[in-house]
């Protein structure tokens, strides 16, 4: 389908109406907390699974909040008189937020989803009809140009983004505007781009309805709308990263072969970053027969950038194809058509010798270092969001370790990170453990094996004594040569710092 099949959007040039609508939504507690209280946890959780029946049952009354939920979140027509009790119907009809049905009912032209900001802000994410509930899973069939609401990928990227105050931020492929909305909290100037003009329109609505400053909105693919002399302190993108045969759906299919879109995005970001700036992306990448996937990703990193790449999940090609066929609602279509599309997907992978597809995060930081640091790792385990501060701290530790030799490590002072616990693993009744594990309960929630010296060292790191003095004390305690202990321990200290178990003390 073309964009003409999609409903007309509200005017983006009526901030007065958006402000009045925002006041009405807040006045009725049409917020994330208000929805949870109204619907109850089971119905609220069902919305995330794209199931609306429990929410419909919970909104059969005539309170202002129930009216707004049915209107803007559940896409139900509501009697004109009931809407008039809650908001300015005539203004919303004139500005296009509502449309009249049958003379005595009103219906929303867009979905509006309450969204809680990181500091308790009450924000509202605008999306196309049928796209707010459950994000990408909210509608059964997709139309070209459709703009989705908030899905798991959106919140993941928002959670891992470094949130330091910056002069200029770029949201590339803005969609419904959630990343631009987050960036507006800590960036003086926000630029948002998208290949889909409808997405830029909806981003403007999201920002206005959330009470955020307007962004500089530009149409175009990848970095095309950005002039050669423009650089940014922060670049974020949840791009259309799906590796698919063709570009049927704008919101997910990049239109380039294989993982070329993600590669191009990463490679071009280096020239757009200001010194010390961060670029953070979600991405898919191919696992190709005879090729190390980590080497593939290292080759993407542009010159002059440190990188931290984390693979969170891997799917074989059949799982991957089925996931995105279901996402588009193709499993509900004609079985013959579904099988043909499935077959085309596997043909594409077979031609490229792709055996599986990885998903994860890519973070770049512009650096003047002679030898940039590139870390590529697999971490499918649970983490604690938001992770932005942990990402920033990772690169701070990279700087420290790059500038500090072993002598500097021994002269340095360290402090054990918060909520690190020690676990001793061994057979019941054994005098000594087989090994000792340090485990984080914050951030990446890493675990690492250490020997008894490493465990003892970490346990007394409170920033008061230098590493060398602590090792001398341990050597005396265990009867070991202090010189030999100083020689062999810096590698273990370096690993503990690198993984965030120990933090250097200035």
Q: What's the confidence (pLDDT) of residue 430?
A: 77
Half-sphere exposure of 457 (CA within 13 A, CB side): 29
Q: What's the confidence (pLDDT) of residue 181?
A: 98
**DSSP letters for 323-349:** HHHHHTTGGGS-HHHHHHHHHHHHHHH
Question: What mean pLDDT, rounded, does the chain reach?
Answer: 93
For residue 450, give the H/E element and its range. strand 447-450
Q: What's the confidence (pLDDT) of residue 133?
A: 65
Structure tokens at 47: 């919305």
Cβ atoms within 10 Å of 8's Cβ, excluding its own:
9
C-alpha pair distances (Å), 246 with each of 243, 254, 264: 9, 8, 17
Rounded Cα–Cα distance for residues 499 and 450 (Å)? 13
pLDDT tens track of the chain, all 506 residues?
A: 334 468 899 999 999 999 999 999 999 999 999 999 999 999 999 988 888 999 999 999 999 999 999 999 999 999 999 999 999 999 999 999 999 998 899 999 999 999 999 999 999 999 999 888 654 444 444 567 899 999 899 999 999 999 999 999 999 999 999 999 999 999 999 999 999 999 999 999 999 999 999 999 999 999 999 999 999 999 999 998 899 987 677 778 777 788 999 999 999 999 999 999 999 999 999 999 999 999 999 999 999 999 999 999 999 999 999 999 988 777 778 899 999 999 999 999 999 999 999 999 999 999 999 999 999 999 999 999 999 999 999 999 999 999 999 999 999 999 999 999 999 888 887 777 778 999 999 999 999 999 989 999 999 999 999 999 999 999 999 999 999 999 999 999 999 999 999 999 98
Rounded Cα–Cα distance for residues 72 and 111 (Å)? 5
Residue 215 in 3-state DSSP? coil
Rounded Cα–Cα distance for residues 232 and 190 (Å)? 9
Q: What's the confidence (pLDDT) of residue 140?
A: 43
Q: What's the confidence (pLDDT) of residue 433?
A: 76
Q: What's the confidence (pLDDT) of residue 137?
A: 43
Q: What's the confidence (pLDDT) of residue 281?
A: 98
253 closest CA partner among 385, 341, 129: 341
Structure tokens at 382: 């649970």
- 192 contacts 215 by C-beta, under 8 angstroms: yes
């Amino acid at each position: 389908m073309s964009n003409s099949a999609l409903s007309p959007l509200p005017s983006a040039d009526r901030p007065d109406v958006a402000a009045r609508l925002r006041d009405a939504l807040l006045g009725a507690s049409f917020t994330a907390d208000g929805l949870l209280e109204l619907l109850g946890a089971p119905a609220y959780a069902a919305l995330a699974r794209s199931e609306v029946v429990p929410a419909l049952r919970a909104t059969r009354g005539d309170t202002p909040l129930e009216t707004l939920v049915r209107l803007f979140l559940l896409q139900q027509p509501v009697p004109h008189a009931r809407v008039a009790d809650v908001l300015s119907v005539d203004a919303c009809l004139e500005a296009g937020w509502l449309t009249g049905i049958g003379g005595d009912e009103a219906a929303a032209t867009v979905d509006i989803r309450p969204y809680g900001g990181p500091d308790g802000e009450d924000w509202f994410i605008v999306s196309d009809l049928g796209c707010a509930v459950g994000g990408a899973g909210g509608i059964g069939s997709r139309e070209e140009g459709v703009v989705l609401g908030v899905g798991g990928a959106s919140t993941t990227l928002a959670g891992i983004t470094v949130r330091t105050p910056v002069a200029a931020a770029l949201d590339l492929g803005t969609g419904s505007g959630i990343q631009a909305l987050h960036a507006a909290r800590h960036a003086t100037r926000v630029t948002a781009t998208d290949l889909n003009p409808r997405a830029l329109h909806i981003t403007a609505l999201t920002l206005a309805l959330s009470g955020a400053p307007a962004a500089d909105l530009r149409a175009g693919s990848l970095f095309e709308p950005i002039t050669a002399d423009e650089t940014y302190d922060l670049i974020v993108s949840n791009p259309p990263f799906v590796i698919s045969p063709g570009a049927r759906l704008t919101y997910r299919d990049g239109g380039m072969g294989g993982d070329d879109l993600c590669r191009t995005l990463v490679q071009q970001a280096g020239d757009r970053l200001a010194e010390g700036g961060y670029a953070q992306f979600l991405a898919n990448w191919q696992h190709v027969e005879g090729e190390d996937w980590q080497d593939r990703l290292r080759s993407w990193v542009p010159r002059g950038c440190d990188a931290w790449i984390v693979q969170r999940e891997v799917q074989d090609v059949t799982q991957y194809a089925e996931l995105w066929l279901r996402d588009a609602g193709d499993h509900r279509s004609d079985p013959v058509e579904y099988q043909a599309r499935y077959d085309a997907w596997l043909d594409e992978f077979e031609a490229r010798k792709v055996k599986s597809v990885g998903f994860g995060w890519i973070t770049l930081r512009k650096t003047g270092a002679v030898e940039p640091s590139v870390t590529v790792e697999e971490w499918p385990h649970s983490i604690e969001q938001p992770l932005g501060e942990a990402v920033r701290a990772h690169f701070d530790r990279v700087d420290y370790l790059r500038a500090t030799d072993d002598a500097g490590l021994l002269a340095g002072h360290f402090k054990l990170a918060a909520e690190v616990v020690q676990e001793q693993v061994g057979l019941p009744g054994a005098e000594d453990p087989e090994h000792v594990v340090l485990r984080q309960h914050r951030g990446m929630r890493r675990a690492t094996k250490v020997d008894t010296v490493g465990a003892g060292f970490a346990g007394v790191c409170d920033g008061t004594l230098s590493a060398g003095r602590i090792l001398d004390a341990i050597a005396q305690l265990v009867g070991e040569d202090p010189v030999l202990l100083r020689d062999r321990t810096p590698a273990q200290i370096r690993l503990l710092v690198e993984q965030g178990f120990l933090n250097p003390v200035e």
